[in-house]
Structure 1
Amino acid sequence: MAAVKETDTVILYDPEKEKKYFLNLSLSKGKFNTDRGEIELESLIGKPYGSFIETHKGFKYIILPCTVVDFIMHKLNRLTQIVYPKDAAFIALKLNVKPGDTVIESGIGSGAMTAVFAHIVGENGKVISYEKREEFIKNALSNLRKLGYENRVITKHKDIAEGFEETEVDAVFLDVREPWLYIHHAYKALKTGNMLGILVPTVNQIIETLKKLQELPFMDIEVCEILLRKYKTVPERLRPEDRMPAHTAFLIFARKLPQETENGSL
C-alpha cells in the first residue's frame, strides 16, 4: 500500500461530517488545525493511505491521496478560466497522449490542462508550455509544484507568433484567443499523422479556425463540445442534479498529413 511522502498533497477526511481538508505537506509545516483539534503534520509522513490519524483531542481522520481532479477542482489557484476535467480527459485521449510523450501547449493559463498532460506523460515525458504572460507561468508552476509535476514541464516565456522551437512532437494543444494565426506553427511542430487539439469559447472562433485548417494538410477535422449531467446519489429518489455543468468550451481536433511533394502526390 502506498505511503504518504513529504511532498504529497493529501486529503484528511472526516467520515462523521463528510468534510475534506486538502493540504500540501511540502508547503505546510508544524501543526494543522481542524475543527476537531490539531494534527502534527510530520506524523502523516510514512503512514499508508487509507489509515487513520488522530487529533490531540482524539478525533480520527482518514488519510486519502489527492487526485489530479481533486486538486484541479478544489485547490488549483486560478488566475484564468481553466480547462475542466470533463474536457481535459477527452482532449488527452483525442490527442493520444501517453507515457513518455512530448506535448506542446499554449497557453499555460492556471496549469489545469498542463497538470493533466504531465500526469499522463509521466516522469519520462515532457510538457512544453508556451506562455507570454509571466504571472501565469509563476502561478501555474506553483500549482504544478504542489502536485509534484514541476519537473515534467518546461515553460517558455515566449509569444508563439514567433513559432515553436520543437519539431516532431507527439501532440500540440492550443488554448489561445486567435488559434488560426498559429496553426501553421503547430503543423510544423507535429509529427506527421499525429493530432492537433484546439479549445475556443465561441462559434466565431471555430469558423476562423476551420478556414485555416482547410488551407493546410489536415484530415479528421472535428468540432465538438462535452456536456456532463450528474445525478443525485440518493437511491430512493434518483434524479438529475438541479444544476448541470453544460457548455464550457468548443473542442477542435485535426490530424496532420504530409505536405504535398513536387509531383503533387502526398
Structure 2
Amino acid sequence: MEILVPLSVSGIWYPVIKENLLESGSIGLTLTLEPYIIAEIKYGKGIIFNGIEINIPNYEILRQKLGEYKLIVYSRVPLGYGYGLSGAISLAYALGVKELTSISEKDAVNVAHLSDIVAGNGLGDVIAQYHGGLVYRRKAGGLGYGEVERIILDWSDYPIFSQIVEQMPTKNIIRKSEIALSLIDEFLRNPSPIKFIEVASKFTKSLGFTSEYPNSYRKKGIIIKIFTPENGVWIRHKIASRGAFVR
C-alpha cells in the first residue's frame, strides 16, 4: 500500500483562527503540484524522510489522536522550504491509518488538518492536498467545516517550475495581509494561470517576499514560476491531477 500526496504551494492566504480549531485554517488560493510524495505506513513509530528519521511537531499530535505508526516517506523536494511537506506527511499518515483502522476518512483528514494548525506548519495545506488541482479555500476549516472549490484551468501552455532559495519556518509567513481577500476576488473575476501568478506576486510582495524572475512569485523559501526559465537550477512541476490517494 502506498499513499500519494501532492505538494502544496499557496499563492494567497488569509489566516482564520477560531476557538474550534477545526473551523480554523485560511481562506486562499493554492497550487497543488506533482511530483507527489510517496509514503508507506507500518506498525512501529517515527517518520523516515528520504531515508533519515525526522522529528516534526505534527507527529506528536498524529500519534496521540490516531495511534503510533511508522511512516516512510519518499520526496523529490526537500523539507522546510515551502512545498507543504509537513501537511503532506500528516495527510499521508492519516490516510494510512484510515486503511489500517476503522476511523472514517473525514475524521482522519481532520486530524491531519488539526496537526498542521496546532504545530504552526500550515493553515490550508492539508485541505488543498486532499482535493488537488488549483484550490480555492472559500471558507476556512477542515472537512465538513470549510468550503473548497477546485478551479479548472488549462495549464498546458504554462509549464510550472520552482527554485529553492532558503529554508524558512512557516511561522514567519503566517500573518494577515489586508489585501489578500481583494486579490482573491481579482483572480476570481478573470481566472487564468497568468492572473494567478500576478495576484500571488502582489500578495507575497506585501509580505516582503520578492522574486527577480518574470512571471513568478516567492512563497517562503521557494520561487514559483511559469514558462521555461532562461537560467538557474529549477524543478519542473505539473498541476496535481487529483488529490491525495491510496493505491
Q: Do Structure 1 and Structure 2 share a fold, with TM-score over 0.5? A: no
TM range (shorter): under 0.3
User: RCO greater where, 1 or 2, for CA within 8 Å and sep 6 or more?
Assistant: 2
Bigger CA radius of gyration: 1
In the superposition, the TM-score normalised over structure 1's length comes to 0.23
In the superposition, the TM-score normalised over structure 2's length comes to 0.25
